[in-house]
């Protein structure tokens, strides 16, 4: 029994004994004692003055004396006007802790088939780079949120949307094709996600060199970036990918599989898992279809260049691009398509997106669009927003290689835990395997 419930029952008993009146337990108000006073819990006695027919201090004193004499959970008390401050006995705390320890389900509310179904999306990596510090934070927040929501009696589906297509992916692919010389994770000894990330950085390096050369020839920065042969090749590769070009698709499949193997290893070490993984390559067409449906129904409009937009000025926002003039999709298109597939897969009652606060506007728009398109949970979707991780020198940039790698961070935490434990003599007498396991548990909290 909770200490509060135990005390409420004793107060009700005390009022009956002292004043001959039965009082409903709901009228007994216990609150946390203010920091400046001694005690753990405070009883408000003003509601009982009518039955005691005495002043607040005398009533509090009489109730306190009764509890001290008859309730073992009360070690001491003091009276401040109409407030009875109770100090809970150490034995009562120990008894409660023992109950909690022996009850494996303490504090948990079990879900059943009628419980609300909550889908929580987190991680959302790109397949052109390994996971970094920002992903670590996102994954741990998402996984913790899923555990909390489940503990409160909800059915939970943990989901991940992998951004496995687009211009950024093509940049890594093109760089590997041009500069890779057939390098593989096996031949290099690198994790697949790290290898692909190296070529994303390589693309940016060569691209910047091209842009700088074009600027020296008299172009503006904007003109040079548009005219860059390397960037034009990447855009052409994206168009070929969307057209289903077999050579481009084969290269894409091979490099993505390298990345997935690397991701899986990182997720396992982090203690993070998912119930369902969606891929942008499978959702963007669904999104395009849904956008065209919205266009036909008059929710959206088309510009002269063929691009499709949503006019959200009535909602106090602006115009939002949904399809480019060349027919290629944007992130919003993908999220609409993913929503369609999720709604078909699961009877979702609530959708929670765990994404940094730089995407606040994106999810504000997505909520409106999903509602327009008929998704029941669209208007009530939750964006679990949080501040972004930045280095002292500014925002992390994967294309420039200025990130804190997730694998490196975890290895460093394990190594630090091992060194500290050795210095304190905590690993003395243990086998190497036992010492490594302790270092992992301490370093990662798993």
Same-domain check for residues 91 and 32: yes
Q: Considering the domain boundaries, does residue 107 fall inside one?
A: no
Q: Considering the domain boundaries, does residue 126 fall inside one?
A: yes
* Among 234, 324, 345, CA closest to 282: 345
Task: Please report, in tens digits, the pLDDT of each residue of the chain (446 residues total).
Answer: 789 999 999 999 999 999 999 999 999 999 999 999 999 999 999 999 999 999 999 999 999 999 999 999 999 999 998 999 999 999 999 999 999 999 988 889 999 999 999 999 999 999 999 999 989 999 999 999 999 999 999 999 999 999 999 899 999 999 999 999 999 999 999 999 999 999 999 999 999 999 999 999 999 999 999 999 999 999 999 999 989 999 999 999 999 999 999 999 999 999 999 999 999 998 888 888 999 999 999 999 999 999 999 999 999 999 999 999 988 778 898 899 999 999 899 999 999 999 999 999 999 999 999 999 988 888 889 999 998 767 676 655 545 556 789 999 999 999 999 999 999 999 999 999 999 999 999 999 87
**Which CATH number goes with the domain that contains 7?**
3.30.1360.70
Same-domain check for residues 314 and 201: yes
Same-domain check for residues 128 and 187: yes
Q: Considering the domain boundaries, does residue 104 fall inside one?
A: no
Q: Considering the domain boundaries, does residue 109 fall inside one?
A: no
> Whole-model pTM?
0.80
Same-domain check for residues 415 and 385: no
Q: So what's the pLDDT on residue 399? A: 52
Tokens of 239: 């168009």
Same-domain check for residues 255 and 136: yes
- DSSP letter assigned to residue 138: H
* Among 231, 197, 192, CA closest to 211: 231
Same-domain check for residues 290 and 152: yes
Cα separation of 140 and 357, whole Å? 16
* Among 62, 99, 94, CA closest to 79: 62
Q: Quickly list DSSP for 188-224.
A: HT--HHHHHHHHHHHHHHHHHHHHHHHHHTT--HHHH
Please, which residues bridge with residue 120 across strands? 158, 352
* Among 325, 299, 296, CA closest to 310: 299
Same-domain check for residues 327 and 414: no
Same-domain check for residues 82 and 137: no
Q: So what's the pLDDT on residue 401? A: 56
Beta strands at 390-391 and 319-323: parallel, antiparallel or unpaired? unpaired
Q: Considering the domain boundaries, does residue 106 fall inside one?
A: no
Q: Considering the domain boundaries, does residue 102 fall inside one?
A: no
Q: Considering the domain boundaries, does residue 111 fall inside one?
A: no
All residues at 6 or more sequence positions from 242 whose CB lies less than 8 Å from its CB, including other chains = 327, 328
- Domain ranges, residue 187: 117-406
Q: So what's the pLDDT on residue 264? A: 96
End-to-end alpha-carbon separation of the chain, Å? 31
All residues at 6 or more sequence positions from 232 whose CB lies less than 8 Å from its CB, including other chains = none
Same-domain check for residues 280 and 139: yes
The total of structural domains in the chain comes to 3
Same-domain check for residues 171 and 45: no
Same-domain check for residues 343 and 214: yes
Residue that is last in its domain, among 96, 130, 164: 96
**SS3 per residue for 254-310:** HHHHHHHHHHHHHHHHHCCCCCEEEEHHHHHHHHHHHHHHHHHCCCEEECCCCCEEE
- DSSP letter assigned to residue 27: G
**Which CATH number goes with the domain that contains 296?**
3.40.50.620
Same-domain check for residues 231 and 355: yes
Q: So what's the pLDDT on residue 76? A: 97
Q: Considering the domain boundaries, does residue 108 fall inside one?
A: no
């Amino acid at each position: 029994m909770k200490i509060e419930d135990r005390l409420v029952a004793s107060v009700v008993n005390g009022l009956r004994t002292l004043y001959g009146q039965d009082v409903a337990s709901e009228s007994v108000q216990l609150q946390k004692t203010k920091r400046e006073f001694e005690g753990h819990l405070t009883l408000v006695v003003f509601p009982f003055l009518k039955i005691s027919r005495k002043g607040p201090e005398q009533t509090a004193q009489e109730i306190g004396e009764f509890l001290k004499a008859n309730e073992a959970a009360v070690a001491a008390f003091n009276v401040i006007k109409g407030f009875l401050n109770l100090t809970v006995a150490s034995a009562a705390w120990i008894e409660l802790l023992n109950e909690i320890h022996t009850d494996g389900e303490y504090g948990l509310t079990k879900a059943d088939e009628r419980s609300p179904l909550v889908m929580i999306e987190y991680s959302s990596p790109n397949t052109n780079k390994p996971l970094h510090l920002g992903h670590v934070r996102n994954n741990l927040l998402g996984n913790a949120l899923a555990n909390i929501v489940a503990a409160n009696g909800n059915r939970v589906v943990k989901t991940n949307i992998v951004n496995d297509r687009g211009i950024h992916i093509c940049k890594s692919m093109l760089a590997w094709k041009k500069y890779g010389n057939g390098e593989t994770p096996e031949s290099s000894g690198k994790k697949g996600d790290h290898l692909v990330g190296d070529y994303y950085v390589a693309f940016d390096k060569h691209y910047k060199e091209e842009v700088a050369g074009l600027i020296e020839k008299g172009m503006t920065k904007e003109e040079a970036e548009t005219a860059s042969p390397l960037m034009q090749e990447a855009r052409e590769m994206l168009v070929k990918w969307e057209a289903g070009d077999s050579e481009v698709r084969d290269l894409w499949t091979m490099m993505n599989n390298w990345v997935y193997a690397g991701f899986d290893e990182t997720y396992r070490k982090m203690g993070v898992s998912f119930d369902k993984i969606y891929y942008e390559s499978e959702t963007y067409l669904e999104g395009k279809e849904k956008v065209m449906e919205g266009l036909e129904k008059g929710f959206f409009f088309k510009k002269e260049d063929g691009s499709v937009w949503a006019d959200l000025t009535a909602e106090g926002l602006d115009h939002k691009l949904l399809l480019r003039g060349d027919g290629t999709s944007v992130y919003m298109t993908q999220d609409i398509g993913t929503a369609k597939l999720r709604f078909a897969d699961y009877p979702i009652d609530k959708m929670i997106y765990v994404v940094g606060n730089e995407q606040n506007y994106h999810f504000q728009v997505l909520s409106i669009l999903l509602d327009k398109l008929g998704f029941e949970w669209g208007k009530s979707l939750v964006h679990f927003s949080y501040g972004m991780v930045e280095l002292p020198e500014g925002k992390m940039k994967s294309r420039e290689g200025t990130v804190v790698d997730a694998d490196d961070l975890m290895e460093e935490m394990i190594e630090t835990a091992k060194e500290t434990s050795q210095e304190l003599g905590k690993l003395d007498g243990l086998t190497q395997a036992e010492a490594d396991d302790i270092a992992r548990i301490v370093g990662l909290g798993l």
